[in-house]
Amino acid sequence: MISNIGAEAAGHEESLGGQLTHHIQVYPGFDVQLGEYTLHISETIITMWAIMAVLILAAFLVTRRLETYPGKVQNVVEAIIDGINSLVKSILGHHWRPYAPYFGTIILFLAVANTLAMFNIPQFRPPTKDVNMPASLAVMSILLLIGSQLRYKGIGGSFKSLFEPMWIIFPFKILDYFTRPLSLCLRLFGNIFGAFVMMELIILATRNIVAPPIFSLYFDIFDGLLQAFIFTFLSMLYIAEAIE
């Protein structure tokens, strides 16, 4: 009898694992033939394009008829923009203005991308659960950091800063150019992928009855928005340190 119970439990565990694997697997996407070369368009790329299209369309619709006395929608949009500008200004000081559009785009994109799972759209799942997506954003941030340092300090000043406050710190300054994007990438990827897996397990375990909407408030919404803020905040902080 005990062996039968154990076998049933093992079978249930295997069934649950199989269902989880089916839920979190990456859809293959499609291939585009360009002469002798084949370009693979993955699920992550398709989802990114869809998010960008939605954001561009939303930006066009809410800004095409701006009024002197704004309505409810314009008030919300202006509040979001003012909030982003204030955040960038508080970190980057008087250098904030050229960076506000970039970081505003990043935080809005990540806010949508990280919370996409709560909409439960088939084949449109958070692109940030694919490590390539956070890695790309992290590389963009470190390239912006290097470009900003060269712009405000010049080549000589940038090279000199590698030896400050003392020459022995030089290897660690070089290491920062690799550890910082790695940290940005893995923090974003790990949290979003972990939250996605947890929600899939909860859905499978509760048969999608009561618990998922409750847990979704944390795993899909709170955690997703928090990680969008953390990624943007740390990127700005690294740039502020580089150009100070």
* Residue-level pLDDT at 10: 43
Asked, for residue 170, whether it belongs to a domain, the answer is: yes
207 within domain boundaries? yes
Mean pLDDT for the chain overall: 81
127 against 24, higher pLDDT: 127
3-state secondary structure (DSSP) of residue 68? coil
* Residue 5 falls inside a structural domain: no
The total domain count for the chain is 1
Confidence band (pLDDT; 50, 70, 90) for 68? confident
Length of the chain measured in residues: 244
- Which residue, chain included where needed, has tokens 């150019």? 177
Rounded-to-integer distance, Cα 128 and Cα 194, Å:
11
Q: Taking the CA of residue 206 as centre, how many other CA atoms within 13 Å lie in the half-sphere pointing to its CB?
A: 14
Domain contains 66: yes
Most confident region among 126-130, 135-139, 196-200 by mean pLDDT: 135-139
Of the segments 52-66, 191-205, 225-239, which one has the largest average pLDDT value?
A: 225-239
Decide if 67 contacts 51 (C-beta within 8 A): no
H helix or E strand, kind and range, residue 46 = helix 43-63
pLDDT digits (tens, 9 = 90+) for 223-237: 889 999 999 999 999
Residue 8 DSSP class:
H
CB 180 within 8 A of CB 238: yes
* pLDDT tens, position by position, 133-174: 999 999 999 999 999 999 888 888 888 888 877 888 888 888
Confidence (pLDDT) at 1: 44
Cα dihedral: 177, 183, 184, 190 (round 10): 160
- Residue 199: the pLDDT is 78
Residue 47 lies in a domain: yes
List, for residues 74-98, the tens digit of each pLDDT value: 888 889 999 999 999 999 988 899 9
Angular region, 39: left φ>0, alpha ψ -120 to 50, beta rest: beta
Confidence check: pLDDT of 122 > 90: no
The verdict on residue 62 lying in a domain is yes
At 47-58, the pLDDT tens digits run: 899 999 999 999
In a domain, 67, yes or no: yes
Tell me the residue ranges of DSSP E strands in 13-156: 30-34, 37-41
- Residue 230's alpha-carbon distances to 78, 148, 188, 238, 244, in angstroms, are 22, 20, 9, 12, 21
Instruction: State the Cα–Cα distance between residues 80 and 19, nearest whole angstrom.
Output: 40
What percent of the chain has a predicted confidence (pLDDT) above 70?
82
89 is in which domain, residue-wise?
A: 26-243
Contact 223, 191 (CB under 8 A): yes
| pLDDT interval class at 2 (50, 70, 90) | very low
Of 182, 173, 190, 197, which Cα lies nearest the Cα of 141?
Answer: 182
pTM, whole model, 2 decimals? Answer: 0.81
Tokens describing residue 132? 């390539």
DSSP, collapsed to helix, strand or coil, labels residue 55 as: helix
Question: For residue 46, what pLDDT is reported?
Answer: 87
Residue 8 lies in a domain: no
More confident residue, 43 or 212: 43
